[in-house]
Structure 1
Amino acid sequence: GTVTMTYTVSGTGGCPDATATRDVTITAPPVAGTLSGTQEACIAGTTTFSSTEAGGSWSSANTSIATINASTGLITGVAAGTVTMTYTVSGTGGCPDATATRDVTITAPPVAGTLSGTQEACIAGTTTFSSTEAGGSWSS
């Protein structure tokens, strides 16, 4: 709201008091809200962050890991790593900006590697395959 501030200097020797006034507007500080959204994405994949408060803008602490659309919160993975996303609601009336942060981790997609082995087998026979990448599982 608005309040009127008054400054008074007492008069002496029969002179009246002197006053000056000034209106001051009091503004509520902004709130960045509570952030939500999936905190993982693959390189070239996307995820979206949101806030319970409208009117803010998004930024990425490291656009070489992930970018974020300033208005929609859409994150796009660029390289493997973890980066902090910041949501900022601008302060007005002398109030500072309000910020909230949330991390997102960008991972590289898995690689199946190159397969090798004999591609023919007799009924009831066997063959063996291998991959240049470890950690996978075989199925048919």
Structure 2
Amino acid sequence: MIPLATPKLYFENPVGRVLEHPDGYVIFQYQPGKRKLAELQALLTHTRNLLVRNRWHRLLGDQRLMAPFTEEESAWIVDYWLDHSRQGPQGLYGAVLLANDVFARLSNDQVMHEAKTAALTYRVFDREETAVAWLRQLA
């Protein structure tokens, strides 16, 4: 039997955790509750740093516990984090586990609609197994 690969914690704060998966992708997990913008920015910046450092282009975004984005958070994500010029030549592939909270799902849909970026290709999933399978196809 082949042992399962165990992700390694890269960064954590009250907003969430960033894990480094040995199969070559980042796991980004939101914690429940309200966020401070600076803490969200730190978490996403560390996510970007890990992707760049390892020259990775795949991300598993676990939004299951996420609260809806505020307008300020949405603007920062669209204007900074999803900006095509910051993605690198290969772009980013994201498998997103849908938030349990319907309003969080709607706020994420709004962010993705506003972003209109070719730098991010993403799919949404209800189950982690199917999200990981999709990411592995992209390796």
- Shorter-chain TM-score range: under 0.3
Larger strand fraction of residues: 1
Greater C-alpha Rg: 1
Tell me the TM-score normalized by structure 2: 0.21
| Larger relative helix fraction | 2
